[in-house]
Amino acid sequence: MNKSYTKVILSGRLMEVSQQSTPPLVSRKSLGGRKPYGSVDKMIHDTNKKISINRARAEIKRLLECNFPKQYAFLTLTFRPSKEHDITDLEACYKQFCDFKKRLNYYLEKKQLPPFKYIGVTEFQGSGAVHYHFVCDLIKIPLHDLEMLWDFGWINRKVIKSNPTTNKKIIYYLNKGIMDERLTGKKKYLRSHGLKKPLSIIINNLEDFYEHINSCNIKELESGSYHSKLYGEILYHNYYVENVKEIMDYVQGL
């Protein structure tokens, strides 16, 4: 790859470096009007759907690394069968989740604790019942209190130490349900307000960049390449950084 477009995304200790032969395409304006739905339209629809899913997966990974660098709770909320509520109905279940959040944040405020911080996904059980998985900060709250606050069913919590290997497994677990057709047109994942966002920057001097990061305490997690019809060959390297501040200061100064 002689001349390339290089982007670095920093998400806490996770650093992703990608190189491609052409820069991203700018958004095209709609030509307006309703068009007949044919094979080309279906292909575009399927492509956009795939892009949306891949984007959601990347965002979940980056938000986890940005916001839960040391440890987190992996929380599962399930619904018990009820005559009052249809536990297979996405909107009804989401309303109950919102009610839970209100009670929880009131509880946290009384305990002088920060608001509920989370990234979550919706999944369906074999019966069609909705349940939720969350990476969140509800580590120190007694489980009994959480069970009282979530009174729609059952709750399971596991406290996890944040590290590259475990985080990859948790992210895979969160991502496995977002392709479900029942989520079409719905949010691919749930997130609280105010989460830290990854830093994205374009690298013009690749040689200088690698010279600098090689002097830092970094560990390569994976690397590889793939071909894109839009951008040609794309090379990627993912690293875990111990000295985040040093890398952050460097890229922000570019």
β-strands 199-203, 5-11 pairing: antiparallel
Single pTM value for the model: 0.85
* DSSP code for 140: S
Rg (CA), the chain: 21
Do the Cβ atoms of 251 and 213 come closer than 8 Å? no
Q: Measuring CA to CA, which residue among 88, 152, 80 is closest to residue 122?
A: 88
Average pLDDT over residues 123-148: 95
- Looking at the chain, the domain(s) classified CATH 3.30.70 span 1-21+198-254, 71-191
pLDDT mean across residues, the chain: 87
Q: Give 71-191's CATH code, choosing from 1.20.1280, 3.30.70, 2.40.160, 3.30.750.
A: 3.30.70
Q: Measuring CA to CA, which residue among 39, 8, 5 is closest to residue 19?
A: 5
Q: Measuring CA to CA, which residue among 155, 172, 193 is closest to residue 76?
A: 155
Instruction: Write a three-state SS string for 31-60.
Output: CCCCCCCCHHHHHHHHHHHHHHHHHHHHHH
Determine the Cα–Cα distance for residues 64 and 133; give it in Å rounded to an integer: 13
Tokens of 60: 């979940």
| pLDDT, greater one: 44 or 242 | 242
Per-residue pLDDT reduced to its tens digit, 83-130: 888 999 999 999 999 999 999 999 999 999 999 999 999 999 989 999
Indicate if the pLDDT at residue 43 is higher than 70.
Answer: no
CATH topology of domain 1-21+198-254: Alpha-Beta Plaits (3.30.70)
Q: Measuring CA to CA, which residue among 67, 78, 70 is closest to residue 116?
A: 67
Determine the Cα–Cα distance for residues 63 and 77; give it in Å rounded to an integer: 20
